[in-house]
Amino acid sequence: MSKGAAHSLYGNPVTVGEVKVAKRSIRGRVVVIDDDVEILAALAALLALENYSCETYASALAYLEVHGKQYPGNFVPSCVLCDVKMPEVDGLELQSRLSALDDTPLLLMSGVSGAPEAVSAFRAGALDFLIKPLDADILLNAVLKALAVSAERQRLKERKLNLAGRIATLTKRELEIARKVALGQTNPSIAQELGIALRTVKLYRQRAMEKMGAKVTADLVRLADEGGLS
């Protein structure tokens, strides 16, 4: 592991390999948190070599501070790799705080800790628990998986947001009718239930389909299910 990359050692985030970012495609962003600056440096170097974008923090607090101020809409697969044993806010504490704000996959690492720490970490939803001394292969493999999970979550979230956005453009009637159509009700039946004219139902049905981006009714059924309109 070369240590050529420049990075801050005391809490300030640093992106390693920014030049590379423009050249090669980045595989994802890894946030490393450890109070041992040597480990921080080594991990940063290793991750940079593997073409990951990497931010390092010497304490959980330092990360939490920056985290809140980050511009949202960050569509890069990311994960947090955090040491368990740290002063003030330890890894498990960070985990519980992050889980409330974020769904970024978390990898915890620890030295001589016993089973209880590992168990707590997993129960709280940690994706993996790495035991120091770290093995590069195991670490990189864990990062790979975490980023894959992150990418999948982001993909899903984006899709949900997109869908929710489209649903939000529906008027009350359009929404009502889209629901009933997705349930398989016929236009005449809907018209009767809502006490409106058949022509009206057809019109809104058509508009709802347009707004939802559904070419055929089958699409609307799927979108309605996915968007929770059923």
Residue 3 CA: distances (Å) to CA of 41, 79, 131, 132? 7, 22, 22, 20
Stretch touching a second copy by CB under 8 A, among 11-19, 28-36, 164-172, 209-217: 209-217
Q: Does 222 bind a second copy (CB under 8 A)?
A: yes
Nearer to a second copy, 19 or 218 (CB): 218
In which element (H, E) is residue 81 found?
strand 78-83
Where residue 65 falls (left for φ over 0; alpha for ψ -120 to 50; beta otherwise) is alpha
Q: Residue count at the site for DNA (CB under 7 A)?
A: 22
Distance (Å, whole) CA 129 – CA 138 = 11
Q: Does 186 bind DNA (CB under 7 A)?
A: yes
Stretch touching a second copy by CB under 8 A, among 1-9, 49-57, 120-128, 202-210: 120-128
Q: Does 87 bind a second copy (CB under 8 A)?
A: no
Q: Which does 182 bind (CB under 5 to 8 A by kind): DNA, a second copy, none?
A: a second copy
Q: Which of 13, 83, 23 is nearest to 51 (CA)?
A: 23
Nearer to DNA, 30 or 182 (CB): 182
Q: Map residue 196 onto helix, strand or coil.
A: coil
- Contact footprint for DNA (CB under 7 A): 171-174, 186-188, 194-200, 202-206, 209, 216-217
